[in-house]
């Protein structure tokens, strides 16, 4: 087979063959490429080097599962109705998998049941208040009607407005006396999803290029290590950036005083230079945050192409929405699914829950685990701005293998029911605003997850 025929065959299989690779193609390369699973999108010199060295197992792959349609410009009341109905239906289906709630009936059917009868129902929380005896009256509704729930103090304090919950208890006169409040939560896994190859993913967030407080010397150390011949660093095939790549302009009052670069395009030039310095075989997955050059309302679309004009078309650069599900290293065993959310709802969420409020920023993983328990990234309306549509994309419908967030400028890495929970740190030192708030950031830490063992290590720079 001559090279022209080889290129034609590879192209027919959906491969893009780079010109530099054509002159090096041999017949044995073609056979090896045909046997790769999944089939590579690009045949380049690096792939040929891997074929010749026998190291083809480390070929990385990125599948961006989440997409956002931007066609609709105006929203009306019906869009909000559809948005919350979708939330209710999705989380209801998750709750009905719980044994305690499987007998749940619609709220309208409660009228046909006898007082003191054992009942179960699912509803979205409309409001709540604390009684003089310390218990809580909770108003909840479903598409068929509305009812009241009397909940014990501990359960009632843990309920937040606009979330979907299950209730089990005895029926009273237009009220349910709750024996138990049930949240959807994530199930215990049957096994731990991983990769057959030992490859790593690194997670960072909140770089804030353009700020006077950006710690570029720590970023340089990260790049030096990532691009070194260090055998550990060479196994890193994925780098996630969970939002706030730049400081932005006009994000909060008096921000200009804290800017080193006042032009947002120049800020992105700094970030682009950083991305260009990352090794070509590392897939860089970039999501937006509340400081970035997109709408503040969630779901946020990916960064626009003009923000990173020189790299957005690179094979190893993937600009994704916020939030986003991304599957990496999706070979024969399915890959590892990452849910990346910048975390803008964090502040309002922890402020609404006393048990999270204390030391929330020192231990941000507790709020992230709470999202998993409620199966929603921003259950309280107003904790973030939302763009209502036919679906609520903030419902955690699929259970991820890794949940990563940022925003808090605090670092944390733990596990919950088989899920790696990572609050990626920051590369910005303490700002004047944080000093006034008494918040001490935790900069320069990078979480590195071994996708084969799912163990997390922390690298400090």
pLDDT band at residue 48 using 50, 70 and 90 as cut-offs: confident
Q: What pLDDT sits at residue 68?
A: 78
What integer best gives the mean pLDDT of the chain? 90
* 376 has pLDDT over 90: yes
The C-alpha atoms of residue 60 and residue 199 are separated, in whole angstroms, by 9
Q: What pLDDT sits at residue 70?
A: 66
- CATH class of this structure's domain 99-182: mainly beta
Residue 372, φ and ψ in degrees, nearest 5: -65, -40
Q: What's the whole-number mean pLDDT along residues 2-23?
A: 78
* 222-269 pLDDT, tens digit each: 999 999 989 999 999 999 999 999 999 988 888 888 899 999 999 999
- CATH class of this structure's domain 63-70+188-460: alpha beta
| 63-70+188-460 and 99-182, same CATH topology | no
* 56 has pLDDT over 60: no
* 266-314 pLDDT, tens digit each: 999 999 999 999 999 999 999 999 999 999 999 999 999 999 999 999 9
Domain locations in the chain as residue ranges = 3-56, 63-70+188-460, 99-182
pLDDT band at residue 398 using 50, 70 and 90 as cut-offs: very high
**Residue whose pair of structure tokens reads 């088989």 in the numeric block:** 418
What six digits make up the tokens of 330? 């999706």
Q: Which of 251-255, 331-335, 446-450 has the highest mean pLDDT?
A: 446-450
Per the CB < 8 A criterion, the answer to whether 8 and 31 are in contact is no
Q: State how far the alpha carbon of 457 is from the alpha carbons of 12, 76, 284, 424, in Å.
A: 42, 47, 19, 12
Give the alpha-carbon dihedral of 61, 65, 71, 74, to 10 degrees: -140
pTM beyond 0.75: the answer is: yes
pLDDT band at residue 373 using 50, 70 and 90 as cut-offs: very high
pLDDT band at residue 209 using 50, 70 and 90 as cut-offs: very high
> Looking at the DSSP assignment, which residues form a beta bridge with residue 322?
300
Per the CB < 8 A criterion, the answer to whether 309 and 75 are in contact is no
Higher pLDDT, 331 or 416: 416
């Amino acid at each position: 087979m001559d090279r022209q025929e080889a290129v034609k065959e590879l192209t027919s299989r959906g491969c893009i063959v780079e010109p530099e690779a054509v002159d090096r193609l041999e017949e044995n390369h073609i056979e090896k490429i045909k046997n790769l699973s999944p089939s590579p999108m690009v045949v380049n010199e690096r792939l040929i080097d891997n074929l010749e060295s026998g190291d083809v197992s480390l070929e990385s792959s990125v599948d961006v599962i989440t997409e956002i349609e931007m066609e609709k410009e105006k929203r009306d009341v019906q869009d909000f109705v559809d948005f919350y109905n979708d939330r209710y239906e999705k989380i209801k289906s998750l709750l009905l998998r719980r044994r305690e709630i499987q007998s749940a009936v619609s709220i309208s059917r409660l009228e046909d049941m006898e007082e003191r009868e054992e009942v179960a129902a699912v509803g979205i929380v409309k409001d709540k208040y604390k009684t003089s005896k310390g218990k809580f009256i909770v108003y909840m509704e479903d598409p068929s009607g509305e009812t009241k729930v009397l909940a014990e103090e501990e359960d009632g304090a843990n309920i937040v407005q606009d979330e979907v919950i299950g209730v089990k208890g005895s029926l009273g006169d237009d009220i349910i006396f709750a024996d138990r409040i049930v949240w959807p939560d994530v199930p215990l896994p049957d096994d731990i999803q991983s990769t057959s190859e030992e490859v790593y993913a690194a997670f960072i967030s909140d770089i804030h290029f353009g700020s006077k407080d950006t710690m570029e010397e720590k970023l340089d150390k990260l790049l030096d290590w990532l691009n070194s011949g260090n055998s550990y660093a060479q196994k890193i095939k994925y780098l996630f950036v969970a939002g706030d790549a730049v400081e932005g302009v006009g994000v909060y009052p008096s921000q200009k005083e804290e800017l080193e670069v006042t032009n947002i395009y120049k800020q992105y030039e700094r970030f682009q230079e950083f991305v260009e310095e990352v090794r070509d075989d590392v897939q860089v997955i970039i999501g937006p945050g509340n400081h970035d050059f997109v709408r503040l309302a969630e779901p946020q679309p990916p960064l626009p192409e003009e923000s990173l004009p020189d790299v957005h078309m690179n094979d190893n650069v993937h600009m994704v929405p916020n939030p986003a599900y991304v599957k990496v290293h999706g070979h024969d065993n399915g890959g590892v699914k990452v849910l990346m959310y910048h975390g803008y709802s964090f502040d309002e969420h922890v402020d609404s829950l006393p048990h999270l409020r204390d030391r929330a920023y020192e231990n941000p993983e507790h709020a992230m685990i709470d999202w998993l328990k409620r199966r929603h990234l921003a259950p309280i309306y107003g904790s973030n701005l939302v763009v209502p549509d036919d679906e609520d994309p903030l419902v955690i419908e699929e259970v991820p293998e890794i949940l990563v967030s940022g925003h808090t400028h605090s670092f944390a890495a733990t596990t919950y029911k088989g899920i790696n929970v990572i609050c990626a740190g920051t590369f910005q030192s303490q700002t004047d605003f944080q000093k006034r708030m008494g918040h001490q950031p935790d900069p320069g830490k990078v979480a590195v997850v071994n996708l084969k063992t799912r163990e997390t290590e922390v690298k400090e720079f």
